[in-house]
Homo-oligomer: A and B are copies of this chain.
Amino acid sequence: MSTPTARDRLIGAAQDLFAVQGVGPTSPRAVLTASGVGQGSLYHHFPTKHDLAVAAVGANVDQALAQAMRTLGSDSPAIERLVAYLERPRDALAGCKIGRLTADQAVMDDDGLRDVLDAYFVRLLGVVTGIFRETGLPDDVARDRAHAALAIIQGGYVLARATQDPDALTAAVRGFVGLLTQKEHP
């Protein structure tokens, strides 16, 4: 544990660099420099950049899903779980480690990597849709609202980065939660 393997150090360095810069702009050389291993070690463990990217992006997705489930999967009432997830502190100016990659051409052109992104959002959409169904909404409405909830987060990141204002994300969340929690009288 105190001496991680070269493979683990490569994945860790790649996770950080891909989250900050994206996959395309991050060179294998940058990863091995940050990890402190030699050139040959990288290409021994990960023959191509694709292999390294699948491993590192997959690790980021696993960690993000685990963290999301800490709020979404708690034992609080449905809407409270969702609001807790939406209002969770986020590094708005950094952007979403996963969502950002949808703008990364190197990711979108790689079937394996796209599948990793797809799995992340399909999983989250399923969980959030289930939460809205718990509140008694019909399936199609629950699904639409789940899309809206996740879009608020992803779009809030975009607004925050564009305006260099972290509060753009929290403002979007406030606006959405305000609509969500107003009383409905159909």
Which positions in A face B, CB cutoff 8 Å? Answer: 21-22, 24-25, 95-96, 98-106, 108, 114, 117-118, 120-122, 125, 141, 143-159, 161-164, 168-169, 171-176, 178-180, 182-186
Q: Name A147's contact: one of B25, B175, B179, B180 (CB within 8 Å).
A: B175
Q: Judging by beta carbons under 8 Å apart, are B103 and A163 in contact?
A: no
Q: Judging by beta carbons under 8 Å apart, are A103 and B105 in contact?
A: no
Q: Name A159's contact: one of B105, B121, B180, B182 (CB within 8 Å).
A: B121
* Contact A151:B150 (CB < 8 A) given known A144-B174, A182-B184: no
Most buried by B among A96, A103, A105, A176: A103
Q: State A182–B100 Cα separation when bound (angstroms).
A: 32
Contacts of A106 in B (CB 8 A): 25
Q: State A129–B152 Cα separation when bound (angstroms).
A: 17
Q: Judging by beta carbons under 8 Å apart, are A158 and B156 in contact?
A: no
Q: State A156–B153 Cα separation when bound (angstroms).
A: 10
* Contact A103:B22 (CB < 8 A) given known A162-B121, A163-B121: yes
Q: Judging by beta carbons under 8 Å apart, are B175 and A182 in contact?
A: no
Most buried by B among A99, A102, A141, A143: A102
Q: Name A148's contact: one of B120, B152, B182 (CB within 8 Å).
A: B152
Q: Judging by beta carbons under 8 Å apart, are B105 and A25 in contact?
A: yes
Contacts of A98 in B (CB 8 A): 162
Q: Name A152's contact: one of B100, B152, B180, B186 (CB within 8 Å).
A: B152
Chain B residue at minimum C-beta to C-beta distance from A99 = B158
Q: How far is the CB of A183 from chain B (nearest CB, A)?
A: 5
Most buried by B among A21, A143, A161, A182: A161
